[in-house]
Structure 1
Amino acid sequence: CKEIESEGTNTDTEEQSFPVPKPFNTHIEELKLDVLLQKADHLRVNESGKMESFELLCDHKEKFRDEIEFMWRFARAYGDMCELSTNAEEKKHYANIGKTLGERAITRAPLNGYCHLWYAVLCGCVSEFEGLQNKINYGHHFKEHLEVAIRLLPEEPFLYYLKGRYCYTISKLSWIEKKMAATLFGKIPSSTVQEALYNFLKAEELQPGFSLSNYMHLAKCYVDLGESQDAWKFCNLALLLPVVTKEVSLNSDNEHWCLRSTLQGCQFITEKTCVGKSTPLLLC
Protein backbone atom coordinates (compact mmCIF):
# COMPACT_ATOMS: atom_id res chain seq x y z
CA CYS A 1 0.00 0.00 0.00
CA LYS A 2 1.60 3.22 -1.10
CA GLU A 3 1.51 6.06 1.36
CA ILE A 4 -1.19 8.71 1.22
CA GLU A 5 0.15 11.95 -0.18
CA SER A 6 -0.59 15.17 1.63
CA GLU A 7 -2.51 17.84 -0.20
CA GLY A 8 0.27 19.86 -1.77
CA THR A 9 3.48 18.28 -0.43
CA ASN A 10 4.70 15.08 1.11
CA THR A 11 5.18 14.92 4.86
CA ASP A 12 8.19 13.48 6.66
CA THR A 13 6.05 10.53 7.67
CA GLU A 14 5.60 9.58 4.04
CA GLU A 15 9.24 9.60 2.93
CA GLN A 16 9.99 5.98 3.80
CA SER A 17 7.74 3.16 2.73
CA PHE A 18 7.28 -0.04 4.71
CA PRO A 19 5.72 -2.55 2.33
CA VAL A 20 3.26 -5.04 3.75
CA PRO A 21 3.09 -8.58 2.32
CA LYS A 22 0.09 -9.04 0.03
CA PRO A 23 -0.94 -12.68 0.18
CA PHE A 24 -4.59 -11.72 -0.10
CA ASN A 25 -5.03 -9.45 -3.10
CA THR A 26 -3.35 -11.08 -6.08
CA HIS A 27 -6.47 -10.06 -7.98
CA ILE A 28 -8.06 -6.76 -7.02
CA GLU A 29 -11.83 -6.93 -6.96
CA GLU A 30 -13.55 -3.58 -7.47
CA LEU A 31 -16.19 -3.16 -4.77
CA LYS A 32 -18.97 -0.67 -4.24
CA LEU A 33 -18.40 1.60 -1.26
CA ASP A 34 -21.02 0.07 1.03
CA VAL A 35 -19.81 -3.46 0.29
CA LEU A 36 -16.18 -2.42 0.79
CA LEU A 37 -16.87 -0.79 4.16
CA GLN A 38 -18.86 -3.76 5.41
CA LYS A 39 -16.13 -6.18 4.35
CA ALA A 40 -13.37 -4.05 5.91
CA ASP A 41 -15.29 -3.99 9.21
CA HIS A 42 -16.03 -7.72 9.26
CA LEU A 43 -12.41 -8.68 8.57
CA ARG A 44 -11.11 -7.06 11.78
CA VAL A 45 -11.59 -10.08 14.03
CA ASN A 46 -7.93 -11.16 14.26
CA GLU A 47 -4.43 -10.13 13.18
CA SER A 48 -4.52 -11.60 9.69
CA GLY A 49 -7.98 -10.12 9.16
CA LYS A 50 -6.76 -6.67 10.15
CA MET A 51 -3.91 -6.94 7.66
CA GLU A 52 -6.33 -8.03 4.95
CA SER A 53 -8.68 -5.18 5.82
CA PHE A 54 -5.78 -2.72 5.54
CA GLU A 55 -4.79 -4.04 2.12
CA LEU A 56 -8.39 -3.99 0.95
CA LEU A 57 -8.68 -0.31 1.83
CA CYS A 58 -5.31 0.40 0.22
CA ASP A 59 -6.53 -1.16 -3.02
CA HIS A 60 -9.53 1.19 -3.10
CA LYS A 61 -8.02 4.40 -1.74
CA GLU A 62 -7.80 6.19 -5.09
CA LYS A 63 -11.48 5.63 -5.75
CA PHE A 64 -12.88 6.40 -2.30
CA ARG A 65 -10.24 8.55 -0.58
CA ASP A 66 -12.62 11.52 -0.29
CA GLU A 67 -15.48 9.53 1.22
CA ILE A 68 -15.78 10.22 4.95
CA GLU A 69 -16.75 6.67 5.90
CA PHE A 70 -13.72 5.42 4.00
CA MET A 71 -11.39 8.05 5.49
CA TRP A 72 -11.89 7.18 9.15
CA ARG A 73 -11.69 3.47 8.44
CA PHE A 74 -8.42 3.99 6.59
CA ALA A 75 -7.07 5.92 9.59
CA ARG A 76 -8.25 3.06 11.82
CA ALA A 77 -6.48 0.56 9.56
CA TYR A 78 -3.19 2.42 9.97
CA GLY A 79 -3.74 2.23 13.71
CA ASP A 80 -4.22 -1.53 13.35
CA MET A 81 -0.95 -1.83 11.42
CA CYS A 82 0.84 0.22 14.08
CA GLU A 83 -0.50 -2.19 16.70
CA LEU A 84 0.48 -5.29 14.72
CA SER A 85 3.98 -4.22 13.70
CA THR A 86 6.92 -5.32 15.84
CA ASN A 87 9.37 -2.84 14.27
CA ALA A 88 9.63 0.53 16.02
CA GLU A 89 10.21 2.51 12.83
CA GLU A 90 7.30 0.82 11.10
CA LYS A 91 5.04 1.48 14.10
CA LYS A 92 5.99 5.15 14.10
CA HIS A 93 5.46 5.34 10.35
CA TYR A 94 1.98 3.83 10.48
CA ALA A 95 1.03 5.98 13.46
CA ASN A 96 2.04 9.23 11.76
CA ILE A 97 0.28 8.41 8.49
CA GLY A 98 -2.85 7.37 10.38
CA LYS A 99 -2.85 10.59 12.40
CA THR A 100 -2.58 12.62 9.19
CA LEU A 101 -5.57 10.74 7.77
CA GLY A 102 -7.46 11.28 11.01
CA GLU A 103 -6.80 15.02 10.89
CA ARG A 104 -8.23 15.18 7.38
CA ALA A 105 -11.27 13.19 8.42
CA ILE A 106 -12.23 15.46 11.34
CA THR A 107 -11.61 18.54 9.19
CA ARG A 108 -14.00 17.20 6.57
CA ALA A 109 -16.58 15.80 9.00
CA PRO A 110 -16.38 17.52 12.40
CA LEU A 111 -19.69 15.97 13.50
CA ASN A 112 -18.70 12.37 12.76
CA GLY A 113 -17.93 10.68 16.07
CA TYR A 114 -15.84 7.91 14.53
CA CYS A 115 -13.52 10.47 12.95
CA HIS A 116 -12.85 11.91 16.41
CA LEU A 117 -12.56 8.46 17.98
CA TRP A 118 -9.85 7.22 15.63
CA TYR A 119 -8.02 10.52 15.54
CA ALA A 120 -7.80 10.29 19.33
CA VAL A 121 -6.50 6.71 19.10
CA LEU A 122 -3.89 7.70 16.51
CA CYS A 123 -2.74 10.56 18.75
CA GLY A 124 -2.18 7.89 21.38
CA CYS A 125 -0.19 5.80 18.92
CA VAL A 126 2.04 8.74 17.95
CA SER A 127 2.58 9.68 21.60
CA GLU A 128 4.43 6.40 22.18
CA PHE A 129 7.38 7.76 20.21
CA GLU A 130 7.52 11.22 21.80
CA GLY A 131 9.23 12.77 24.79
CA LEU A 132 7.34 13.72 27.93
CA GLN A 133 6.32 17.21 26.76
CA ASN A 134 4.86 15.94 23.49
CA LYS A 135 3.23 12.99 25.25
CA ILE A 136 1.38 15.44 27.46
CA ASN A 137 0.44 17.54 24.43
CA TYR A 138 -0.95 14.50 22.62
CA GLY A 139 -2.71 13.53 25.83
CA HIS A 140 -4.54 16.84 25.70
CA HIS A 141 -5.59 16.19 22.09
CA PHE A 142 -6.63 12.65 22.99
CA LYS A 143 -8.91 13.81 25.80
CA GLU A 144 -10.40 16.64 23.72
CA HIS A 145 -11.36 14.44 20.78
CA LEU A 146 -12.46 11.55 22.97
CA GLU A 147 -14.94 13.81 24.73
CA VAL A 148 -16.29 15.03 21.38
CA ALA A 149 -16.67 11.43 20.22
CA ILE A 150 -18.56 10.48 23.40
CA ARG A 151 -21.00 13.36 22.87
CA LEU A 152 -21.59 12.18 19.30
CA LEU A 153 -21.59 8.43 20.03
CA PRO A 154 -22.90 8.04 23.60
CA GLU A 155 -23.70 4.34 23.13
CA GLU A 156 -20.25 3.26 21.85
CA PRO A 157 -18.59 1.08 24.56
CA PHE A 158 -15.08 1.40 23.09
CA LEU A 159 -15.11 5.11 23.89
CA TYR A 160 -15.75 4.48 27.60
CA TYR A 161 -13.02 1.85 27.65
CA LEU A 162 -10.61 4.41 26.18
CA LYS A 163 -11.73 7.09 28.64
CA GLY A 164 -11.24 4.63 31.47
CA ARG A 165 -7.70 3.99 30.27
CA TYR A 166 -7.07 7.72 30.09
CA CYS A 167 -8.47 8.38 33.56
CA TYR A 168 -6.50 5.50 35.05
CA THR A 169 -3.28 6.77 33.46
CA ILE A 170 -3.86 10.33 34.66
CA SER A 171 -4.54 9.08 38.19
CA LYS A 172 -1.04 7.54 38.19
CA LEU A 173 0.90 10.56 36.87
CA SER A 174 4.01 11.55 38.77
CA TRP A 175 4.46 15.00 40.26
CA ILE A 176 6.87 16.08 37.51
CA GLU A 177 4.42 14.96 34.80
CA LYS A 178 1.59 16.91 36.42
CA LYS A 179 3.85 19.96 36.79
CA MET A 180 4.81 19.89 33.11
CA ALA A 181 1.18 19.51 32.07
CA ALA A 182 0.27 22.51 34.21
CA THR A 183 3.03 24.54 32.54
CA LEU A 184 1.75 23.62 29.07
CA PHE A 185 -1.99 24.00 29.62
CA GLY A 186 -2.35 26.16 32.70
CA LYS A 187 -3.83 23.51 34.94
CA ILE A 188 -2.87 20.17 36.43
CA PRO A 189 -4.70 17.24 34.81
CA SER A 190 -6.63 15.28 37.37
CA SER A 191 -8.60 12.08 37.52
CA THR A 192 -9.17 9.24 39.93
CA VAL A 193 -9.30 5.48 39.93
CA GLN A 194 -13.00 5.85 40.77
CA GLU A 195 -13.55 7.82 37.56
CA ALA A 196 -11.66 5.21 35.56
CA LEU A 197 -13.77 2.50 37.19
CA TYR A 198 -16.99 4.31 36.25
CA ASN A 199 -15.99 4.35 32.58
CA PHE A 200 -14.91 0.70 32.48
CA LEU A 201 -18.23 -0.23 34.11
CA LYS A 202 -20.08 1.91 31.55
CA ALA A 203 -18.40 -0.01 28.70
CA GLU A 204 -19.46 -3.28 30.35
CA GLU A 205 -23.02 -1.97 30.84
CA LEU A 206 -23.34 -1.00 27.17
CA GLN A 207 -21.89 -4.29 25.93
CA PRO A 208 -21.41 -7.08 28.50
CA GLY A 209 -18.20 -8.96 27.80
CA PHE A 210 -16.95 -6.09 25.62
CA SER A 211 -13.30 -7.09 25.96
CA LEU A 212 -10.91 -9.05 28.10
CA SER A 213 -8.81 -5.91 28.54
CA ASN A 214 -11.80 -4.03 29.96
CA TYR A 215 -12.31 -6.81 32.52
CA MET A 216 -8.63 -6.71 33.38
CA HIS A 217 -8.72 -2.97 33.96
CA LEU A 218 -11.83 -3.32 36.08
CA ALA A 219 -9.89 -5.79 38.20
CA LYS A 220 -6.94 -3.37 38.47
CA CYS A 221 -9.24 -0.56 39.61
CA TYR A 222 -10.82 -2.74 42.28
CA VAL A 223 -7.38 -3.84 43.48
CA ASP A 224 -6.34 -0.20 43.80
CA LEU A 225 -9.53 0.51 45.76
CA GLY A 226 -8.88 -2.43 48.08
CA GLU A 227 -11.90 -4.39 46.85
CA SER A 228 -10.21 -7.72 46.25
CA GLN A 229 -13.34 -9.82 45.78
CA ASP A 230 -14.54 -7.66 42.89
CA ALA A 231 -11.03 -7.72 41.44
CA TRP A 232 -11.04 -11.50 41.58
CA LYS A 233 -14.51 -11.63 39.99
CA PHE A 234 -13.47 -9.63 36.93
CA CYS A 235 -10.21 -11.52 36.57
CA ASN A 236 -12.26 -14.73 36.41
CA LEU A 237 -14.68 -13.19 33.91
CA ALA A 238 -11.71 -12.31 31.72
CA LEU A 239 -10.71 -15.97 31.62
CA LEU A 240 -14.05 -16.83 30.02
CA LEU A 241 -13.62 -14.49 27.04
CA PRO A 242 -12.06 -15.43 23.68
CA VAL A 243 -8.60 -14.13 22.90
CA VAL A 244 -9.96 -11.46 20.54
CA THR A 245 -13.07 -9.38 21.16
CA LYS A 246 -14.60 -6.38 19.46
CA GLU A 247 -11.80 -3.79 19.27
CA VAL A 248 -9.00 -5.06 21.48
CA SER A 249 -6.71 -7.85 20.35
CA LEU A 250 -4.69 -9.48 23.09
CA ASN A 251 -1.12 -10.69 22.89
CA SER A 252 0.80 -9.51 25.94
CA ASP A 253 1.23 -11.06 29.38
CA ASN A 254 2.85 -7.99 30.99
CA GLU A 255 -0.27 -6.48 32.52
CA HIS A 256 -1.47 -9.88 33.70
CA TRP A 257 1.66 -10.46 35.73
CA CYS A 258 1.35 -6.99 37.25
CA LEU A 259 -2.27 -7.71 38.16
CA ARG A 260 -1.51 -11.18 39.47
CA SER A 261 1.24 -9.79 41.69
CA THR A 262 -1.21 -7.27 43.14
CA LEU A 263 -3.85 -9.93 43.68
CA GLN A 264 -1.29 -12.06 45.49
CA GLY A 265 -0.78 -9.16 47.85
CA CYS A 266 -4.52 -9.33 48.54
CA GLN A 267 -4.25 -13.11 49.11
CA PHE A 268 -6.03 -13.92 45.86
CA ILE A 269 -3.65 -16.08 43.85
CA THR A 270 -4.53 -17.68 40.55
CA GLU A 271 -2.53 -20.21 38.58
CA LYS A 272 -4.36 -19.32 35.38
CA THR A 273 -3.55 -16.44 33.07
CA CYS A 274 -5.56 -13.26 32.65
CA VAL A 275 -3.99 -11.77 29.53
CA GLY A 276 -4.46 -8.17 28.41
CA LYS A 277 -3.27 -6.09 25.43
CA SER A 278 -3.25 -2.36 25.99
CA THR A 279 -4.54 0.03 23.36
CA PRO A 280 -1.81 2.59 22.66
CA LEU A 281 -2.56 5.53 24.90
CA LEU A 282 -0.81 8.62 26.03
CA LEU A 283 1.47 9.01 28.96
CA CYS A 284 1.64 5.23 29.47
Structure 2
Amino acid sequence: MSTSKFTFMVKTLVNLTWPTFSPNRIKNFAVVNHPSKHEPPQSGDTEDKLAKYWSSNKTVGEVLRKADTLYEDKNYIEVYELLNRLKYNNNSEVKWRIARVLYQATADNVLPLEIEKEMIDEAYLLLMEEASEGNMNANVHKWFAIICDCHHKLLGLEERIKGYHHVLKHLRIAYKLDPNDVTVSFLLGKLCFDLANLQGFKRFIAETFFAEPPRSTFEEAYQYLGRVEEISERNFLSNVYYLGRTCYKLKQFYKAKHYLNVACCMKPKNEYERKQFGEAKQLLARVEKYTLGKEILYPNFNCDLEKTME
Protein backbone atom coordinates (compact mmCIF):
# COMPACT_ATOMS: atom_id res chain seq x y z
CA MET A 1 0.00 0.00 0.00
CA SER A 2 1.51 3.35 -1.00
CA THR A 3 1.87 6.17 1.50
CA SER A 4 -0.64 8.30 -0.44
CA LYS A 5 -3.28 5.54 -0.38
CA PHE A 6 -2.83 4.89 3.31
CA THR A 7 -2.95 8.62 4.05
CA PHE A 8 -6.22 8.81 2.09
CA MET A 9 -7.62 5.91 4.13
CA VAL A 10 -6.69 7.53 7.40
CA LYS A 11 -8.12 10.91 6.35
CA THR A 12 -11.36 9.24 5.30
CA LEU A 13 -11.74 7.46 8.62
CA VAL A 14 -10.81 10.56 10.57
CA ASN A 15 -13.42 12.65 8.76
CA LEU A 16 -16.06 10.05 9.59
CA THR A 17 -15.29 9.33 13.21
CA TRP A 18 -12.56 11.50 14.65
CA PRO A 19 -12.98 15.07 13.34
CA THR A 20 -10.87 16.49 16.20
CA PHE A 21 -7.65 14.78 15.05
CA SER A 22 -5.00 17.27 13.92
CA PRO A 23 -3.49 17.12 10.39
CA ASN A 24 -0.03 16.51 11.86
CA ARG A 25 -1.26 13.46 13.73
CA ILE A 26 -2.86 12.08 10.56
CA LYS A 27 0.37 12.59 8.64
CA ASN A 28 2.54 10.98 11.33
CA PHE A 29 0.14 8.05 11.63
CA ALA A 30 0.27 7.36 7.90
CA VAL A 31 4.09 7.48 7.87
CA VAL A 32 4.73 5.17 10.80
CA ASN A 33 2.17 2.63 9.58
CA HIS A 34 3.52 2.35 6.03
CA PRO A 35 3.04 -1.41 5.50
CA SER A 36 6.17 -1.89 3.40
CA LYS A 37 8.56 -0.09 5.78
CA HIS A 38 8.77 -1.55 9.24
CA GLU A 39 12.25 -0.26 10.10
CA PRO A 40 12.57 3.44 10.97
CA PRO A 41 14.77 5.62 8.72
CA GLN A 42 18.23 6.43 9.99
CA SER A 43 18.23 10.20 9.67
CA GLY A 44 16.67 13.40 11.00
CA ASP A 45 13.90 13.92 13.53
CA THR A 46 11.85 11.12 11.97
CA GLU A 47 14.35 8.60 13.37
CA ASP A 48 13.68 9.72 16.94
CA LYS A 49 9.92 9.77 16.41
CA LEU A 50 9.77 6.31 14.88
CA ALA A 51 12.22 4.83 17.38
CA LYS A 52 9.94 6.08 20.13
CA TYR A 53 6.94 4.67 18.28
CA TRP A 54 8.36 1.16 17.99
CA SER A 55 9.56 1.06 21.60
CA SER A 56 7.22 0.56 24.54
CA ASN A 57 7.68 0.23 28.27
CA LYS A 58 4.31 -1.52 28.67
CA THR A 59 3.69 -5.25 28.81
CA VAL A 60 1.71 -6.97 26.05
CA GLY A 61 -1.15 -7.51 28.46
CA GLU A 62 -1.32 -3.80 29.30
CA VAL A 63 -1.30 -2.87 25.61
CA LEU A 64 -4.08 -5.37 24.86
CA ARG A 65 -6.27 -4.04 27.68
CA LYS A 66 -5.81 -0.49 26.45
CA ALA A 67 -6.54 -1.60 22.86
CA ASP A 68 -9.77 -3.30 23.96
CA THR A 69 -10.91 -0.15 25.74
CA LEU A 70 -10.17 1.96 22.67
CA TYR A 71 -12.00 -0.55 20.46
CA GLU A 72 -15.11 -0.43 22.64
CA ASP A 73 -15.05 3.36 22.22
CA LYS A 74 -14.74 2.86 18.43
CA ASN A 75 -11.32 4.52 18.26
CA TYR A 76 -10.21 2.16 15.51
CA ILE A 77 -7.25 4.20 14.23
CA GLU A 78 -5.77 4.39 17.72
CA VAL A 79 -6.22 0.65 18.16
CA TYR A 80 -4.38 -0.07 14.92
CA GLU A 81 -1.67 2.43 15.80
CA LEU A 82 -1.18 0.82 19.20
CA LEU A 83 -1.23 -2.84 18.14
CA ASN A 84 0.81 -2.36 14.98
CA ARG A 85 3.87 -1.94 17.22
CA LEU A 86 3.44 -5.56 18.34
CA LYS A 87 2.50 -7.02 14.95
CA TYR A 88 5.73 -9.02 14.61
CA ASN A 89 5.82 -10.39 18.16
CA ASN A 90 4.16 -13.60 16.93
CA ASN A 91 1.35 -13.19 19.43
CA SER A 92 -2.07 -14.57 18.47
CA GLU A 93 -3.90 -12.18 20.78
CA VAL A 94 -2.32 -9.22 19.03
CA LYS A 95 -2.90 -10.53 15.50
CA TRP A 96 -6.60 -11.30 15.78
CA ARG A 97 -7.21 -7.89 17.32
CA ILE A 98 -5.43 -6.17 14.41
CA ALA A 99 -7.52 -8.23 11.97
CA ARG A 100 -10.67 -7.27 13.87
CA VAL A 101 -10.00 -3.54 13.71
CA LEU A 102 -9.05 -3.71 10.01
CA TYR A 103 -12.33 -5.49 9.33
CA GLN A 104 -14.31 -3.00 11.41
CA ALA A 105 -12.75 -0.08 9.54
CA THR A 106 -14.15 -1.51 6.28
CA ALA A 107 -17.49 -2.72 7.62
CA ASP A 108 -19.52 0.33 6.58
CA ASN A 109 -18.33 0.15 2.95
CA VAL A 110 -17.43 3.84 2.87
CA LEU A 111 -13.84 3.38 1.71
CA PRO A 112 -12.79 2.99 -1.93
CA LEU A 113 -12.78 -0.65 -2.98
CA GLU A 114 -9.04 -0.66 -3.58
CA ILE A 115 -8.30 0.57 -0.05
CA GLU A 116 -10.80 -1.85 1.45
CA LYS A 117 -9.22 -4.77 -0.40
CA GLU A 118 -5.72 -3.87 0.82
CA MET A 119 -6.90 -3.68 4.42
CA ILE A 120 -8.72 -7.03 4.21
CA ASP A 121 -5.69 -8.61 2.50
CA GLU A 122 -3.48 -7.40 5.35
CA ALA A 123 -5.84 -8.95 7.91
CA TYR A 124 -6.09 -12.18 5.88
CA LEU A 125 -2.32 -12.64 5.59
CA LEU A 126 -1.87 -11.79 9.26
CA LEU A 127 -4.16 -14.61 10.40
CA MET A 128 -3.59 -17.19 7.66
CA GLU A 129 -0.64 -18.87 9.38
CA GLU A 130 -2.08 -18.42 12.86
CA ALA A 131 -5.34 -20.21 12.05
CA SER A 132 -3.94 -23.74 12.05
CA GLU A 133 -6.03 -26.54 13.53
CA GLY A 134 -3.54 -26.76 16.37
CA ASN A 135 -4.16 -23.18 17.47
CA MET A 136 -6.51 -23.32 20.46
CA ASN A 137 -7.41 -19.62 20.39
CA ALA A 138 -11.12 -19.42 19.50
CA ASN A 139 -10.88 -15.76 18.49
CA VAL A 140 -8.21 -16.52 15.90
CA HIS A 141 -10.48 -19.02 14.14
CA LYS A 142 -13.52 -16.77 14.55
CA TRP A 143 -11.90 -13.74 12.97
CA PHE A 144 -10.09 -15.74 10.32
CA ALA A 145 -13.47 -17.13 9.22
CA ILE A 146 -14.94 -13.61 9.05
CA ILE A 147 -11.91 -12.15 7.24
CA CYS A 148 -11.69 -15.19 4.95
CA ASP A 149 -15.24 -14.63 3.71
CA CYS A 150 -14.56 -10.93 3.10
CA HIS A 151 -11.30 -11.75 1.31
CA HIS A 152 -12.90 -14.24 -1.07
CA LYS A 153 -15.96 -12.03 -1.58
CA LEU A 154 -13.72 -9.30 -2.98
CA LEU A 155 -12.22 -11.82 -5.43
CA GLY A 156 -15.57 -12.70 -6.99
CA LEU A 157 -18.46 -15.14 -6.68
CA GLU A 158 -16.52 -18.28 -7.64
CA GLU A 159 -13.78 -17.60 -5.09
CA ARG A 160 -16.35 -16.82 -2.41
CA ILE A 161 -18.11 -20.15 -2.96
CA LYS A 162 -14.76 -21.94 -2.76
CA GLY A 163 -13.98 -20.05 0.42
CA TYR A 164 -17.13 -21.28 2.18
CA HIS A 165 -15.33 -24.54 2.99
CA HIS A 166 -12.68 -22.64 4.98
CA VAL A 167 -15.23 -20.32 6.59
CA LEU A 168 -17.37 -23.24 7.78
CA LYS A 169 -14.33 -25.18 8.99
CA HIS A 170 -12.95 -22.37 11.14
CA LEU A 171 -16.33 -21.34 12.52
CA ARG A 172 -16.86 -24.93 13.66
CA ILE A 173 -13.43 -24.95 15.31
CA ALA A 174 -14.21 -21.62 17.03
CA TYR A 175 -17.55 -23.00 18.24
CA LYS A 176 -15.88 -26.13 19.59
CA LEU A 177 -13.34 -24.03 21.48
CA ASP A 178 -15.91 -21.52 22.78
CA PRO A 179 -19.57 -22.60 22.45
CA ASN A 180 -20.69 -19.53 24.40
CA ASP A 181 -19.65 -17.04 21.73
CA VAL A 182 -22.92 -15.59 20.45
CA THR A 183 -21.38 -14.22 17.25
CA VAL A 184 -19.86 -17.56 16.26
CA SER A 185 -23.10 -19.43 16.96
CA PHE A 186 -25.13 -16.97 14.89
CA LEU A 187 -22.69 -16.94 11.97
CA LEU A 188 -22.63 -20.74 11.96
CA GLY A 189 -26.40 -20.93 12.09
CA LYS A 190 -26.86 -18.41 9.28
CA LEU A 191 -24.23 -20.06 7.07
CA CYS A 192 -25.72 -23.52 7.66
CA PHE A 193 -29.17 -22.13 6.79
CA ASP A 194 -27.90 -20.56 3.57
CA LEU A 195 -26.10 -23.76 2.56
CA ALA A 196 -29.12 -25.93 3.36
CA ASN A 197 -31.30 -23.52 1.41
CA LEU A 198 -29.04 -23.92 -1.62
CA GLN A 199 -30.82 -26.94 -3.06
CA GLY A 200 -31.88 -28.37 -6.38
CA PHE A 201 -31.30 -26.12 -9.36
CA LYS A 202 -29.47 -23.44 -7.34
CA ARG A 203 -26.86 -25.93 -6.15
CA PHE A 204 -26.60 -27.42 -9.65
CA ILE A 205 -25.87 -23.97 -11.10
CA ALA A 206 -23.26 -23.26 -8.41
CA GLU A 207 -21.53 -26.61 -8.92
CA THR A 208 -21.61 -26.37 -12.72
CA PHE A 209 -20.46 -22.80 -13.26
CA PHE A 210 -18.55 -21.96 -10.11
CA ALA A 211 -17.55 -24.49 -7.45
CA GLU A 212 -19.20 -27.07 -5.21
CA PRO A 213 -20.38 -25.42 -1.99
CA PRO A 214 -20.18 -27.30 1.31
CA ARG A 215 -23.33 -29.00 2.54
CA SER A 216 -25.36 -28.49 5.69
CA THR A 217 -28.89 -29.03 7.01
CA PHE A 218 -31.65 -26.94 8.53
CA GLU A 219 -31.35 -29.13 11.64
CA GLU A 220 -27.72 -28.03 12.04
CA ALA A 221 -28.73 -24.40 11.50
CA TYR A 222 -31.40 -24.73 14.20
CA GLN A 223 -28.84 -26.17 16.61
CA TYR A 224 -26.55 -23.14 16.37
CA LEU A 225 -29.30 -20.52 16.21
CA GLY A 226 -30.98 -22.13 19.18
CA ARG A 227 -27.71 -21.93 21.08
CA VAL A 228 -27.75 -18.15 20.64
CA GLU A 229 -31.17 -17.98 22.30
CA GLU A 230 -29.90 -20.13 25.16
CA ILE A 231 -27.06 -17.70 25.79
CA SER A 232 -28.85 -14.42 25.08
CA GLU A 233 -32.59 -14.86 24.74
CA ARG A 234 -34.51 -12.42 22.53
CA ASN A 235 -31.59 -10.03 22.32
CA PHE A 236 -30.76 -10.36 18.63
CA LEU A 237 -33.49 -9.73 16.06
CA SER A 238 -31.54 -11.37 13.21
CA ASN A 239 -31.14 -14.60 15.15
CA VAL A 240 -34.83 -14.82 16.07
CA TYR A 241 -35.75 -14.08 12.44
CA TYR A 242 -33.52 -16.88 11.14
CA LEU A 243 -34.90 -19.24 13.76
CA GLY A 244 -38.37 -18.51 12.38
CA ARG A 245 -37.21 -19.14 8.82
CA THR A 246 -35.43 -22.35 9.84
CA CYS A 247 -38.51 -23.71 11.62
CA TYR A 248 -40.59 -22.83 8.57
CA LYS A 249 -38.23 -24.85 6.37
CA LEU A 250 -38.45 -27.74 8.86
CA LYS A 251 -42.27 -27.50 8.64
CA GLN A 252 -42.43 -26.73 12.36
CA PHE A 253 -45.00 -24.04 11.73
CA TYR A 254 -46.04 -23.32 15.32
CA LYS A 255 -42.42 -22.69 16.25
CA ALA A 256 -42.00 -20.56 13.13
CA LYS A 257 -44.99 -18.42 14.15
CA HIS A 258 -43.61 -18.10 17.65
CA TYR A 259 -40.17 -16.86 16.58
CA LEU A 260 -41.51 -14.62 13.81
CA ASN A 261 -43.94 -13.03 16.28
CA VAL A 262 -41.05 -12.38 18.64
CA ALA A 263 -39.01 -10.85 15.79
CA CYS A 264 -41.90 -8.58 14.88
CA CYS A 265 -42.09 -7.32 18.47
CA MET A 266 -38.39 -6.40 18.60
CA LYS A 267 -37.05 -2.97 17.66
CA PRO A 268 -34.61 -2.95 14.69
CA LYS A 269 -31.25 -1.39 15.54
CA ASN A 270 -29.94 -0.81 12.03
CA GLU A 271 -30.84 -1.03 8.33
CA TYR A 272 -29.92 -4.73 8.20
CA GLU A 273 -32.38 -5.52 11.00
CA ARG A 274 -35.04 -3.23 9.55
CA LYS A 275 -34.99 -5.28 6.36
CA GLN A 276 -35.32 -8.53 8.31
CA PHE A 277 -38.10 -7.00 10.41
CA GLY A 278 -40.10 -6.41 7.24
CA GLU A 279 -39.34 -9.89 5.90
CA ALA A 280 -40.40 -11.43 9.22
CA LYS A 281 -43.80 -9.72 8.91
CA GLN A 282 -44.23 -11.02 5.37
CA LEU A 283 -43.33 -14.59 6.32
CA LEU A 284 -45.53 -14.43 9.41
CA ALA A 285 -48.51 -13.57 7.20
CA ARG A 286 -47.84 -16.74 5.20
CA VAL A 287 -47.82 -19.02 8.24
CA GLU A 288 -50.77 -17.42 10.05
CA LYS A 289 -53.11 -19.96 8.44
CA TYR A 290 -51.52 -22.75 10.45
CA THR A 291 -53.40 -23.42 13.71
CA LEU A 292 -51.32 -26.14 15.28
CA GLY A 293 -51.34 -27.09 18.93
CA LYS A 294 -48.81 -26.11 21.53
CA GLU A 295 -47.63 -29.71 21.78
CA ILE A 296 -45.61 -29.08 18.60
CA LEU A 297 -43.70 -26.29 20.32
CA TYR A 298 -43.74 -28.05 23.70
CA PRO A 299 -43.58 -31.85 23.19
CA ASN A 300 -44.50 -32.60 26.84
CA PHE A 301 -47.27 -30.01 27.04
CA ASN A 302 -50.18 -32.50 27.31
CA CYS A 303 -48.33 -34.75 29.79
CA ASP A 304 -47.49 -31.81 32.03
CA LEU A 305 -51.11 -30.60 31.84
CA GLU A 306 -52.44 -34.02 32.87
CA LYS A 307 -50.04 -34.15 35.82
CA THR A 308 -51.23 -30.70 36.93
CA MET A 309 -54.86 -31.78 36.78
CA GLU A 310 -54.12 -34.88 38.85
Per the normalisation by structure 1, the TM-score is 0.70
Q: Spell out the pairing of 1:65-144 with structure 2 (5 A cutoff).
A: 65=87, 66=89, 67-87=91-111, 89=113, 90-106=115-131, 110-144=135-169
Task: Determine helix, strand or coil for the equivalent of 2:136.
Answer: coil
Task: Identify which of 271, 281, 285 aligns with 1:251.
Answer: 271
Q: Is the 8 A contact 1:68 1:108 kept in 2?
A: no
Question: Which 5+ residue runs of structure 2 have no aligned equivalent?
Answer: 30-52, 290-310
Deviations along 1:62-111, one digit per CA (max 9) or x if unpaired, are 43222321210110112212212334604434332222222244369822
Letter in 1 for 2:77: E
Cα separation, 2, equivalents of 1:220 and 1:43 = 37
Identity %: 20
Please tell me the root mean square deviation across aligned C-alpha atoms, in Å. Answer: 3.5
Q: Which has the higher contact order (CA 8 A, sep 6+)?
A: 1
Letter in 2 for 1:263: L
Letter in 2 for 1:179: E
Deviations along 1:208-261, one digit per CA (max 9) or x if unpaired, are 3452221221122123334444334334444666766xxxxx432333333322
Task: Determine helix, strand or coil for the equivalent of 2:172.
Answer: helix
Per the normalisation by structure 2, the TM-score is 0.65
Q: Whose radius of gyration is greater, 1 or 2?
A: 2
Cα separation, 2, equivalents of 1:151 and 1:215 = 22
Q: Comparing 234-243 with 210-219, which one deviates more in the overlay?
A: 234-243
Cα separation, 1, equivalents of 2:134 and 2:93 = 10
Task: Identify which of 215, 220, 234 aligns with 1:195.
Answer: 220
Q: How many aligned residue pairs are there?
A: 244
Letter in 2 for 1:59: E
Question: Which 5+ residue runs of structure 1 have no aligned equivalent?
Answer: 4-9, 245-249, 269-284
- Would the alpha carbon gap of residues 55 and 194 (structure 1) be closer, same or farther in structure 2, given more than 3 Å must change? same
Q: Spell out the pairing of 1:206-225 with structure 2 (5 A cutoff).
A: 206-209=231-234, 211-225=236-250
Partner of 1:280: none
Q: Comparing 210-219 with 25-34, which one deviates more in the overlay?
A: 25-34
Partner of 1:55: 77
- Would the alpha carbon gap of residues 212 and 15 (structure 1) be closer, same or farther in structure 2, given more than 3 Å must change? farther
1:266 aligns with 2:291: no
1:176 aligns with 2:204: yes
1:38 aligns with 2:65: yes
Cα separation, 2, equivalents of 1:43 and 1:237 = 34
Q: Comparing 223-232 with 211-220, which one deviates more in the overlay?
A: 223-232
In the TM superposition, residue 116 of structure 1 has moved relative to its aligned partner by 1.0
